[in-house]
Chains A and B, each alone.
Chain A
Amino acid sequence: MTERLASRSILAKSAARGEAADLADPRAFETAVRPHYASLVRRLVLVLGDENDAQDVAQDAYLKAFRSWARFDGVDVRAWLYTIGLRLAFNQLRRRHRWLAALQRVEPRPWRDPSDPDLWAAIRGLDARTRSALLLSVVDGYTHAEIARMLSVPEGTVSSWISRGRATLRNELRQCEG
């Protein structure tokens, strides 16, 4: 949550003063996006379930962000990076499912969390969009309206995903613990 607030302040401060973010300066881009790389990779590990895929998608997201830097609204750089990264991740999952179906193979080298395997198993049972919405809400503290904008879906859909996601996790974890 703290990271999110910090990301908002990077460029929002200048916006509040009526100054435009220096979108023409590549060094401004690097300064603004660098602090969010590790957290984006971690988020993508949870969404994609694979560390290598997460690294690849994060790199693609940063490249795409660099190319679109001039179009960034200068408000919340973290939300902007997550939006790009998550959309690329969803595309990657679609491609992966098609390939795995075509090759009739199971997913290669999934990430595993030995510290809380029940929660990770329950999280993996959610579809990627529900998982993403839940994490954006729970871990980052974004509102349903903000998440709706990031994932390009209606706000009601986000509320429904988060509600169902929470219920599913609660039930799964209760079964594991019971």
Chain B
Amino acid sequence: MNDIDLDLDRRLAALEARAQGRDDPPGLPAARRRRRVAVPIALAPVLVLVLVATVAAGAVVVRGLVTAREGIENPGQPLAGAQLECTTPREAAAFLAAHGYPDIVWQVEAGNPTANGGRGETTSTQQATPPEHGYVIPGSILDDGRPIMVIDQRVGASGVGACYGMPMP
């Protein structure tokens, strides 16, 4: 093996070491102890009825709750193609104000999603002023006409869309 090969081996090992790897695997089935609940066979029809009723009721409730909203930058939406994901939160605020959206809901996601053995320690808060830093993830227009913008400050976060890979603003 010559010097070039040795250097190549070193660079390959270093390259792999720079890739992100979580320390712990996700919760494995082994961690959960399965418990068996004995139910008399005569109760089976009752359980089936309860299950069917629950599913039906759940569907009705969910239909009332879920409201799909188009992303603010989707084609045909007010800010289609604005690429706010490439800006800082303050720049995004200025852009939105100039386009008739002075009041914005800033949803700030922070913390470490891989901490605590992979369970994550993150927070999600809403505020009226743009945070100092973080990746901008364009949201949608809420029912009251205000746009909601998600700012990702979490450990390991990255830009989205056209600006994936840029440093955190």
Q: Which residues does A use to contact B, with CB under 8 Å?
A: 26-27, 29-30, 33-34, 37-43, 45-46, 51, 54-55, 58-59, 62-63, 66, 109, 111-113, 115-116, 119-120, 123, 134-135, 138-139, 166, 169-170, 173
User: Cβ of A113 and Cβ of B25 under 8 Å apart?
Assistant: no
Residue of A nearest to B118 (CB): A37
Q: Does B103 contact A (CB under 8 A)?
A: no
Which of A43, A51, A58, A66 makes the CB contact (< 8 A) with B16?
A43
The 8 A-B pairs at the shortest CB distance, nearest first, are namely A26-B30, A38-B21, A41-B21, A45-B19, A42-B19, A42-B21, A37-B25, A138-B9
User: Cβ of B15 and Cβ of A116 under 8 Å apart?
Assistant: yes
User: Cβ of A119 and Cβ of B15 under 8 Å apart?
Assistant: yes
User: Cβ of B12 and Cβ of A139 under 8 Å apart?
Assistant: yes
Q: A109-B164, A166-B8 are in contact. Are A115 and B25 (CB under 8 A)?
A: no
**DSSP majority for the B interface?**
helix
Q: A34-B24, A37-B22, A37-B25 are in contact. Are A113 and B8 (CB under 8 A)?
A: no
User: Cβ of A29 and Cβ of B16 under 8 Å apart?
Assistant: no
Bound-complex Cα distance A26 to B25 (A): 14
User: Cβ of A46 and Cβ of B19 under 8 Å apart?
Assistant: yes
Q: How many Å from the CB of B108 to the closest CB on chain A?
A: 22
A-B residue pairs in contact (CB < 8 Å), sample of 8: A26-B31, A37-B24, A42-B20, A66-B29, A113-B18, A115-B14, A123-B15, A135-B12
Q: How many Å from the CB of B86 to the closest CB on chain A?
A: 15
Q: How many Å from the CB of B115 to the closest CB on chain A?
A: 14
Q: How many Å from the CB of B95 to the closest CB on chain A?
A: 24
Bound-complex Cα distance A27 to B20 (A): 26
Q: How many Å from the CB of B152 to the closest CB on chain A?
A: 14
A45 contacts across to B, CB distance below 8 A? 16, 19-21
User: Cβ of B15 and Cβ of A120 under 8 Å apart?
Assistant: yes
User: Cβ of B22 and Cβ of A115 under 8 Å apart?
Assistant: no
Q: How many Å from the CB of B52 to the closest CB on chain A?
A: 31
Bound-complex Cα distance A135 to B19 (A): 14
Which of A58, A116, A135 makes the CB contact (< 8 A) with B11?
A116
Which of B22, B23, B24 makes the CB contact (< 8 A) with A55?
B22
Which of A43, A55, A66 makes the CB contact (< 8 A) with B30?
A66
Residue of A nearest to B14 (CB): A116
Q: How many Å from the CB of B30 to the closest CB on chain A?
A: 3
Q: A42-B16, A51-B20 are in contact. Are A169 and B25 (CB under 8 A)?
A: no
Bound-complex Cα distance A6 to B126 (A): 47
B26 contacts across to A, CB distance below 8 A? 59, 62
Residue of A nearest to B1 (CB): A166
